[in-house]
């Protein structure tokens, strides 16, 4: 798994590439913690190139949702069908602190709403 951290409209954006499992989740956890340290209202994870995730990675997502719920949300960008199915199974997709976006533009619009 490879990670790259940047920003989209002043919101932390973490690009996840490859497989996010029990062996690599620690690195994602560190990146998310780093992003949360600036107290953002939202965090975006670009998962378009994330080919695999299991409870190792999902636990990091759940932790971030818990921290952001109320003030904002954790957004996931363009997950593939298999990854999206897992996020549904664990109940993330119906969580008020979680969003899925198919397009970066949708994410930008949602970020604008958050700023108002």
63 contacts another protein (rule: CB under 8 A): yes
Q: Mark the segment that binds another protein (CB under 8 A) among 2-10, 19-27, 36-44, 102-110.
A: 19-27
19 contacts another protein (rule: CB under 8 A): yes
Q: For the window 95-114, what string marks contact with another protein as x by the rule CB under 8 A?
A: --------------------
49 contacts another protein (rule: CB under 8 A): no
89 contacts another protein (rule: CB under 8 A): yes
* Cα gap 43→32, rounded to integer Å: 8
Binding residue (CB under 8 A) for another protein from 7, 66, 71, 112: 66
Least distance to another protein, CB of residue 6, Å = 24
17 contacts another protein (rule: CB under 8 A): no
Comparison of 40 and 56: residue with beta carbon closer to another protein: 56
Reduce the secondary structure of the chain to three states and give it as a string: CEEEEEEECCEEEEEEEEEECCCCHHHHHHHHHHHHCCCCCEEEEECCCEEEECHHHHHHHHHHHHHHECCEEEEEECCCHHHHHHHHHCCHHHCCCEEEECCHHHHHHHHHHHHC
């Amino acid at each position: 798994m490879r990670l790259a951290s940047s920003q989209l409209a002043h919101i932390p954006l973490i690009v996840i590439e490859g497989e996010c499992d029990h062996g690599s989740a620690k690195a994602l956890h560190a990146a998310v913690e780093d992003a949360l340290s600036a107290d953002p209202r939202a965090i975006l994870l670009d998962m378009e190139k994330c080919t695999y995730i299991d409870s190792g990675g999902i636990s990091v997502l759940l932790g971030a949702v818990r921290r952001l719920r109320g003030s904002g949300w954790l957004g996931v960008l363009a997950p593939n069908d298999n990854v999206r199915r897992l996020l549904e199974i664990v109940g993330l997709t119906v969580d008020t602190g979680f969003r899925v976006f198919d397009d970066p533009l949708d994410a930008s619009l949602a970020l604008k709403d958050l700023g108002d």
